[in-house]
Structures are given as structure tokens and as C-alpha cells.
Structure 1
């Protein structure tokens, strides 16, 4: 992989610093990778339970470097969801924090490294892996959906190079982690900075904690990224008045930033001589597809920008025809080397070759202005973004129907607002549903609500009429 081409030049350079005062060099990472390869034997499927720690970072990068194929999962994943994925995909290894070992139904610890353990499973039916397959990410991680995105090393390289180019990343950049490592946006920050030999600042603190800002200031954080919810928090805690002398760049992705908030942060960036990059992406494109140049943050406020270097956008109408006129909405289509290989829904899919051939129909509805800048106006697919994480509404329905057998559910929503409709709600049941949802998926009650209807509307073939529910979704109980 190009990602590691210049690694020998970086041998003594610090790869990462963490909030416990520890550090690791690029040279030490190289040694770790060799040991990981010896322990696993090469191209095997491994599940990594991620945290923003040195051990987690080494595991991820070590897999990419040696050809081991990781599925990246949140270390807080519910045990039932984790073991469901294990039964579906049959990984031969798991790499997880010691505190998570109780979640794993079977596995022999063969290597302790820091606070992480490498476990070998007695797997009799390991999956066959496509030669170019390098990484697996969930499409809706919080629900434990078995649907994964298959990414290649070329996908990762291409996206890292594009991002490093338009963000003008050099070896002196120091990004501080604000996003989980199992999230495509978080990984894109890691990849693009490792490519350039930067030092990553790893912390498990959140932006609401004073310790996060102490760590960022002490270690001279040069950039930070966030989803729309992150920026709402930053405004609330007085970020714009903070003394952060080394901060140069702030980035945003993971959903549409409200135009008002976009404008406030664009004005802040202009006033403080910093750069704000609003970006657009999906896991299916390895991470980034579009970005709004910092110089256009105010002029094109509300836009998700233009295609990244090496990529191309166009719009299609409902018949698949290309829309050439400005200010006409259609489905946003992207072409680039970072478009993933395709989906996997079971272990048998991991041997599949490249199915998408560099073209992705995003499922997002957008328009393009006369200057060529794109604006997202809606979605075709049943996904929403909750705190930046993509949530598959159909998967939430599936979880609820499995938990509450015999009760019908229908989910609708927009970014940061999930509404659960049910036709069988007894007093106090709404709180029980929300508590279950939070326990299993991490979706909190502030981002979700339960509403009772007499009957969930369906058509003659029994399909839910979501449009009818969407008209009442704002009147939540």
C-alpha cells in the first residue's frame, strides 16, 4: 500500500501520542506489524474492537500493512450483536481490549500487547477472502447489521492521497481524535495523516471534558474534525473563545451542517485566520467524495462542495438520464478510485471481486448551482445520521420487532431525529423501548422518540407507507 511507502523514512518519528503520556514511533509500529503477521499467518479475517488508543491504532494499521483483513467495530458493541456478526462471518481472530474479553463467546488469547489481547478462534469454516480485500466496515454499526462495505487497499490509498491534497496536510500536522476509529470519517483522518508521516493525538476524552482541551493544547493539536452534533456542542461550550494557538484546520462531515451553524463557524475561521472544510462522504466511497474549499465557506454556505481530487460528480433523474441544467435536483452519482468493491451480507460474499467498478449511486438527492457546487436536498435511502453515525431505519425496526415479538414498528426520521411508531403502546412502554434501544445500539433518548398510532399504514402488499408517517413525525410524544 502507498500508505506505508515512506514508512522507513519516518522510523524515528512519533506515530502517536496518547492521553496517558505514552508514545509510539513509526519504527515501533513496523516491529508490531511483523509480530502481528507472525501470530496470525497473513490474510485472515479479524474483528477489531476499537478505541482511540495506541493499541487499537497499531492493530488497525498493522492489519493494513500485512494484508490481514479487519472488520472494525466499536468496543462498546453489545455482546449479542458482536456474537451475531461472529456467527455470520466466522473470523479466525479477534483483537480486543482486555476489558471486552467477556463479550467473546470463544477464543484463546495468544498475545497480550498493552491493554489489548489477540484471540484465536477455533474456526472450522473460515471465509475465503478476495485478493484485493483490505478492510470491512459496517453500514449501520449501532444496529449490528451484517451488511458490510468491502474496501480495497487501492480504495484507501486513493482517498488518503486526495484528502491529504485538498487539506494540504504536511508532516507537521497533529490531528486530535474526536471520532471513533471504527467510523469511516475517523479512519480517513488516520489514513491521510499516516500517509504524510504525521503524529496522531489519541484520546478517549470527549470535547465536553476539560481534559480533552488540556490534552489538545499541551500537545499542540493542529486540526480537529467533527459531525454536526460535535459543532453544536462546540458552540455551546464556547469553543470560539478558546485559546488554541496551534489549531489551524477544522473539518466537518457525517451529515449536513445547518446553514446557520455553518456560517457561524465560517465567520469564526475567517476571524481567527483558520480554515474550515465542510465535507461529504460515505463508507461506500472509503470516506470522502466531496469538500467545500475553505475559501468558499462563506460564499457557498450550505453547500457540500465539489468532488475531491481524482473524483467526479453528476446528477441523474429518475429515468437515469444525466441532469445538465443548474438548480435541478436528482440523485448524486460519484466516480472515483475510492469507490469500494461492494457490499457483503455473509462470509460467502467476502470472496466477491469489485462489483461497483468505481461508480457509486449515493442515494442522496442533490442540486448543482451554476458555479458547479453541490447541495444535498434529501435522501432516497432509509438512512439517517444520529450524532454523525449512519443508522439504517430498517435495521432498527428489525431489532425492535425481534425484541417485542408480535408488535409492529415503523421508523422514520431525519438527521439527529429518530421517530419510532408502534400500534401497541401501553403506558410506560415508550420508556422501556427507548431504554432497550440505547442499551443495544447506543442511540439515546434525546435523539429518539416513540409515538403510538392506531394502525401503521400499509399498502395492499403489506409494505409500510412511510410517507404518511413522516407527515406526523414532528408531533412527537
Structure 2
């Protein structure tokens, strides 16, 4: 073993050694205040003196905290190799500590294991990092002083970093991407807004604005979160640029964020890198992002990219190879490897790429068995090897969302899931497992990975993981892996499932938050846990129950509609209230999802559910009775059904009108221009559409009597505007519109009073006091309101001559039963479509 005593002035990494050169400029901005570069240099120098000049392996807990940054910089400045360990995974931390036996462990306090190193440390070795997806693995990337300095300078150059820049730390320090933000900013004397807050937290954006931050970094999942928090509507005058790496960002999202940045005055830098290249290998110049969103761009300054021939690759496609001063020394798999010098001179990325005529590189696939989940690059062969070491024979495959593991033997699925989760830093919920008698293989004897994927895909009946809240979301919405960051809206919830979910959640949470449908599931689960803990051993007491206003309105309206048709009482107007509620729910559920394509899919699914239930029932009644024409079966009664006494096409005016509105809006949302207009003018747009709808309301087309869907469409738009009315003046404005336009619609003061009252309640009241039993009844009626409306025409007729109240009750009960049948039938149809694919996979595995 060789112990090397060195002079820290010559062995340290320059950007860590030269902090004092930036003087009194702000270096770190924290909750506790501001540290200047002079302050930071003093702290680093003091810690460096403690570490001494004799090189030792220093294990640093990587967190976005001042003490972690001081430990890291002190070791680098004094020439000590740093083993940077995750600060958010005790299991991974202890695994690294056991594997590499560090001489010093530096967390909030510094523990000196030994005065001299137990290892032979190569003179160039500066930093050891886990490869993406192998957090806690003995396999580490060995980086040199030149690697760190060169990569920081390269990033600073293409980002145009200056001392006036100020980056928010949106990524963990132990992740190479997050660390590269720190290194490049400290090199240029820029500032770091040191925080571990998430971009979904309002406090993050308050700090970002208050401290005039100029940039933040994100992985693809970060941009999903930005969509959910309404980033496109934020005003951030200090923001200069946003960077993205850590996995492929959907090209449409690249184009959209690039366009957003162009309008708002900031740049989007899409970047490509690996830990083996100290972080970055390529970047896409911002001015090209909208036109070339599929590309990773050009090499970073000082580096070069070329394509190496790859077997079976199409013409023009090869393995992407990178050369540059930031390419790692090599891997370390044990402490003995810390003595090695350079064993790698170029980086074979494993990605298949092509180069466009314009000189931009594009990734088109993977050569080796890697996948990325949440920005973590996972070596599937390594996962299989780790499981074999644990006595589990397994085959693994994955995509951007989940990992599928098929395994032999009688192991507990949860045990297998936890083995993978803890070893690779993945949440257990994205790991799907399947126990098999024998691993599926192709005729060649090679593993059949498509069969593994099919076998390990959760079935309709798969149990949900997590808390009672997670399981409730899974049951109601039919999803199998509910993430903490998911919301009711992002999971495809709509007005039909909203009622059931709200009632079940209220039982778990006590009282629902006002915007629970856009609140992350993790926050709702935490609230439920606090509610349970607060109850503790306290004596049971009667809990105050409330009901969502839309639920109450839908329940009351459907009773008024059916009761008025049967003539139990005479209180018409409920259907027109439901038109307004439908517009409200359209905005609440279908416009909250930020991604345009997701809005379209969401609305299409919801519309299809309504159409399926309506067409099925009306089609059956067409075959069994003489009440309807074929046009009514396809919801085209207003357009094509003949007007004669025996044709009751008008029975379904409400359903037809609603479907027409949704289909028109579905087509409109397919247009990027309409989608952008809605985002920019969320309240003004529906109010303008309501104004246009008054042409139908007041029959302003000379010589033409307009059909009911055109006459009442302004009510749907008003409901939409009510959902978007967040300020008092907006609520006043839409209330005035209701009061001004509804009277005179029928010449029936009672009916108009019902409509006005219902819509004004929708404007001003979010929930109403209720009772547990009343809540359950309201939930059943509201969830089933569409189906009750469809079916009541045939149900009440044989009964109303005998007893009108009984006819009302029978109509409500039958409609509820039909409402419960339709989603089960839809689930059966989906399962029927999936069954042949699963059967094929099983046949292939048996072969």
C-alpha cells in the first residue's frame, strides 16, 4: 500500500480551491441567510485543515445542505478523493460504507475512522459516484480532478454562466446532474439557492421569486410536475434558462416548453449525459429546440461525438461514442480499484444514434439492456445478477414508467420487490412482479422479455399498494400503481367517478380539501394519517359531514327531472341546471390536466363512457319498443329523427346536447391554438363563448328556429366560466350574467327560479352541510344521474298509473343499477381485448 502526502495547493480541484477569489459575492442562499464566497471559503478551509494533507477516502453524505457542500468542497480542495453517497437512502449509504470502508465519514458531524488511509489512492482520483440507477452499488464511476474541472468549465461555457446567475437546487447533490449544477456555478462565482423543496410546493416558487433565481434543472418527471402546478401561467421575470437531462423528454413537451420560454423570455437547454462523462456530453442549442425536439444536439465544448458501427443497425445509425476531458478514469468495483489510473479513453454510451444533415445527433434506441425510470439508468443484467445472488432466478425488462420482474420459486412478491427497490433506489410501486414455474424463453433459449412484460403487467384485480387513500384511488379509478404525485385529475377522474371518490375520501380524511381533485395522492394520504392519529384514543364523537355542491345539485336535479316528468310534483328546470354543472365539471376535470394530448385523451375517455351508456340503452329500446328511430340510437335525433307523434326523440335532448358540446370541445382541444388560448384566457374564453351562445338563447337568427342544443349552450359555457371564476369580481360578473340571461327563457318564473338558484349556488358555495346517510344517497343519485335520465322514460310508464311516487322510486333505483352495470361492462370489454395478448405471451413462454 502506498500512502501519498500531497500539497493541497497543487492537488485540489481548482473551482473548489479558489472560492475566495469571488470575494463577497453571494455563494449560498439558504433559509438561515446568505453565505458569501468569502464566508464559504473560510468554512471550507477550516474543514480542509481538519482533514489534513495526507490523502484519505472521505465519504460525504450528499444532501442540499450547507454542511454537505462544505464537506464536499473541503475534501476536493485538499486533494482527498470523495465518495459521494446518497443522503436520502440509509440502506444505500450503509452498503457503500461497507463496500469501500472510507477513512472519514462526513455528515452533519465528521467521523474520523483512521488517521491514515487504508487504501491505495491514485493521484488523479477526485470523486467516486454511483452510476445512475445503481445507488448503493459497489460499482462506482472514478472521476479525476481534470474531469470535474473540465465538465464544469464546459457547462459554464455553453450556458453562458456569469457571476450574476443564481440556480435553485431542484436535484439532489449526490446525483451527477444535480452536482454538475453546483460545480459549474461555483466555478463562475454564481449563486446557489440551496433548497430541497419540490417544484410542486408553493414555497419553492415563493423563494425562487423572492431571491430572483435565474435557473433550475429538471429531469423528465420534473416537467410533468411543472405542468401540474401551472408553470405556464407563472410570472418569473428573473428566470433566464431551464435545463433538462436525466432521460428523454417527450419531443412534444420539448417543443411546448421551448415555445413557452421563447414567449416568456427564457431558454430551454435540453442536455444529454451520463455519470461516466462527469455529467454532460451534448446539448441542444435553445434556438433549435422547437424545430428539432427529438435531438440531443451537439457535443459540449471540448468534447466530440461519433458513431461506431453496430450490428443489425439501419444505415446511418451506430452506437454513440463520446471523447473528451470529462470521460471518467474508469469503474471501481472494489477498494482495490481505487489505485487504478485511466482504463477508459472514450465512452461507448450504449445508445444507438444518428446524425442529421444539420449536424445534430438523435438517439434512436439502446444497444444494451438498459432502461431509465424517473431519470435513473438501470442495468437490467445487473438487477438479474443481484437477484441471483439473493437466490432468486429472474428475468427483467422495463420501460420509462415501470420495471417488470418474472421470477421462479416460491418467494414472496413483496420480498422480490423490496430487493430490487432497495438496491437500485426505485419506489416499490413501479416494480411489477410475477411468480412463474419456469422463466419464459424463446426457442433459441434466450429470455423472452415481451412475455416477461406481459406476465408482470398488473391485472384488473391486482391489489393496490400503499395507504388506504392509495387503495381507494386504485379501486375507484381502476389504476394499479398509484404514485404519491398522482392526482384524481391526472389519473383520468371525471364527473362520474368524482362523486364516489369524494364520499370515500371524506370517510378517510374527515373533511375534504377544497381542491382535493388536484391535490397529490401523497398529500391526501398524509392528511388521512394525521386524521387517524389525531383521533387516537379520543372518545368517538359525531363528525360534521358535508357534501360537494356539484354532488348535491346533480342529486337534487335528477330527482326534480324525473319527479316532474312523472308529475309527482311540478318543479322543472333541473336539466338546465345539469347543463351548467356539466360545463363546470368540464373545466374542473378536463382542463386541469396541463398536457394538451392528455386533455384530449381524458375528454375522449369521458365522452366515450357517456356515449357507450346512452347508445347501449337507446339501442336496446329501439329493438324492444317502437318509441325511437335509428337516428336516436346514434344520438342524432335533433338532426335526423322525423317529427311525428310516435317518435320520442326529444326524450334525450339533454344527452344529445351534452355529447355535442363535448365532441365540439374535443375537436377544439386538438387544435394547439385553441389550447393556448384557453391557457392564456381561462375565464375570458368561456365568458366569450357564453356571449356568443346568447345568439341561440335569444333566437337572433332571422327566420330560423334554433334547436334546443343551440338554445341552451350558453348555460354550459356559463358553468365553465363559473369553474374558472377564482376572484370575487369574476364571481360577481358570472352571477350577473346568470341573473340577466336566464329570466324569460321559458316564461315560467318557477322553472327559471330553479335554474338561477342552482347556478348561483354553484358560483358561491363549494359544499353544504349534510348527514352520513344523506351523503350516501346523494352520491348514488349524482353518480347515476345520467343513467337515471336515460332509463326513466321506460321504467315509470308501467307504474305511474298505479302509484306515481312508486314510479319515481323505481326509476331512481333502476337508473342506479344501470349506472353500476356500465363501468363493469366496460372493464370486461377492456379485459377481453387484453386477454389474447396475455395468452399469446403464455404460449410463447411455454414454447
Contact 2:87 2:174 in 1 (8 A): no
Determine whether 1:340 maps to 2:328.
yes
Q: Which residue of 2 is the match for residue 259 of structure 1?
A: 251
Q: Which residue of 2 aligns with 1:113?
A: none
- Partners in 2 of 1:241 and 1:195 — Cα distance? 33
Residue 3 (structure 2) pairs with residue 15 (structure 1): no
2:294 to 302, 307, 321: 302
Distance 1:22 1:392, change over 3 A: farther
> In the aligned structure 2, how far is the partner of 1:159 from the partner of 1:383?
24
Judge conservation of contact 2:276–2:327 (CA < 8 Å) in 1: yes
Contact in 2 for aligned 1:329/1:367 (Cα 8 Å): yes
Q: Is the 8 A contact 1:24 1:54 kept in 2?
A: no
Cα distance in 2, alignment partners of residues 95 and 411 from structure 1: 36
The 2-side partners of 1:275 and 1:209 are apart by 23
Q: In the TM superposition, what is the alpha-carbon distance from 1:349 to its structure 2 partner? A: 0.6
Cα offset, 1:399, TM superposition: 4.4
Q: Is the 8 A contact 2:396 2:452 kept in 1?
A: no
Change (3 A) 1:442 1:338: closer
Among candidates 20, 42, 53, match of residue 31 of structure 1: 42
> Which residue in the other structure is 1:355 paired with?
343
Residue in 1 that maps onto 2:373 = 386
Cα distance 1:47–1:448, how it changes in 2: closer, same or farther (>3 A)?
same
The answer to whether residue 143 in structure 2 is matched with residue 151 in structure 1 is yes
1:22 deviation in Å? 2.7
Aligned length: 446
Equivalent position of 2:79 in the other structure? 67
Q: 1:409 aligns with which of 390, 394, 403?
A: 394
Mapping of 1:29-178 within 5 angstroms?
Answer: 29-42=40-53, 43-79=55-91, 81-96=92-107, 116-122=108-114, 126-140=118-132, 142-178=134-170
Closer, same or farther in 2 for the Cα pair 1:4/1:39, shift >3 Å? closer
Q: In structure 1, what is the equivalent of residue 561 of structure 2?
A: none
* 3-state secondary structure, aligned to 1:87: helix
- Equivalent residue number for residue 444 of structure 1: 427
Residues 143 and 64 of structure 1: is their aligned pair in 2 closer, same or farther, counting only changes over 3 Å?
A: closer
> Are residue 276 (structure 1) and residue 276 (structure 2) matched?
no
What do residues 281-335 of structure 1 show as CA deviations (whole Å, max 9, x unaligned)?
Answer: 0011111000000000011111111101111111011379xx9xx9721100011
**CA distance in 1: counterparts of 2:364 and 2:205, whole angstroms:** 35
1:202 aligns with 2:194: yes
Partner of 1:370: 357
Tell me the equivalent position of 1:102.
none
C-alpha contact 1:423 1:454 (8 A) present in aligned 2:
yes
Whether the aligned pair in 1 keeps the contact of 2:395 and 2:449 (CA below 8 Å) is no
Aligned to 2:413: 430
Q: Which moved more, 1:443-452 or 1:127-136?
A: 443-452
2:229 to 237, 256, 259: 237
Instruction: Give, in whole Å, the separation in 1 of the partners of 2:69 and 2:271.
Output: 24
Change (3 A) 1:432 1:210: farther
Partners of 1:143 and 1:396 within 8 A in 2:
no
Structure 2 distance, partners of 1:461, 1:299, is: 43
* Bigger Rg, structure 1 or 2: 2
Tell me the distance in 2 between the aligned counterparts of 1:385 and 1:378.
Answer: 12
CA distance in 1, matches of 2:456, 2:284: 31
Q: Retained in 2: the 8 A contact 1:247–1:274?
A: yes
Q: Any idea what the Cα deviations from partners look like across 1:63-89, whole Å, max 9, x if unmatched? A: 21111111111112233x433322322
Match of 1:169, SS state, is coil
Unaligned runs of 5+ in 1: 97-115
Deviations 1:410-433 (A, max 9, x none): 22112332111123467xx43454
Q: Does 1:455 align with 2:467?
A: no
- CA positional deviation for 1:231: 0.8
Q: Kindly state the Cα deviation for residue 234 of structure 1 after the two structures are TM-superposed.
A: 0.9
Call closer, same or farther: CA 1:78–1:458 in 2, change over 3 Å: farther
**SS at the partner of 2:254?**
helix
Counterpart CA distance in 1 for 2:135 and 2:281 is 25
Residues 141 and 332 of structure 2 are in contact (CA less than 8 Å); yes or no, is this contact kept in structure 1? Answer: yes
| Higher RCO structure, 1 or 2 (CA under 8 Å, sep 6+) | 1
Question: Is the contact between residue 77 and residue 142 of structure 1 (CA under 8 Å) also seen in structure 2?
Answer: no
Three-state SS of the structure 1 residue aligned to 2:166 is coil
- Confirm or deny: 8 A CA contact 2:404 2:453 kept in the other structure: no
Which residue in the other structure is 2:527 paired with? Answer: none
In structure 2, runs of 5+ residues without a counterpart are 1-12, 460-847
CA 1:439/1:145 → structure 2, altered by over 3 Å: closer, same or farther? closer
Q: CA deviation at 1:352?
A: 0.6
SS at 2:263 equivalent: helix
Over 6 Å off, 4+ runs: 459-462
1:465 maps onto 2:452 in alignment: no
Tell me which residue corresponds to 1:109: none
Shift of 1:139: 1.4
Inter-partner Cα distance in structure 2 for 1:4 and 1:450:
45
The separation in 2 between residues aligned to 1:267 and 1:327, in whole angstroms, is: 33
Displacement after TM superposition at 1:152 (Å): 0.7
Q: State the shift of 1:451 in Å.
A: 3.0
Q: Distance in 2 between matches of 1:32 and 1:172?
A: 23
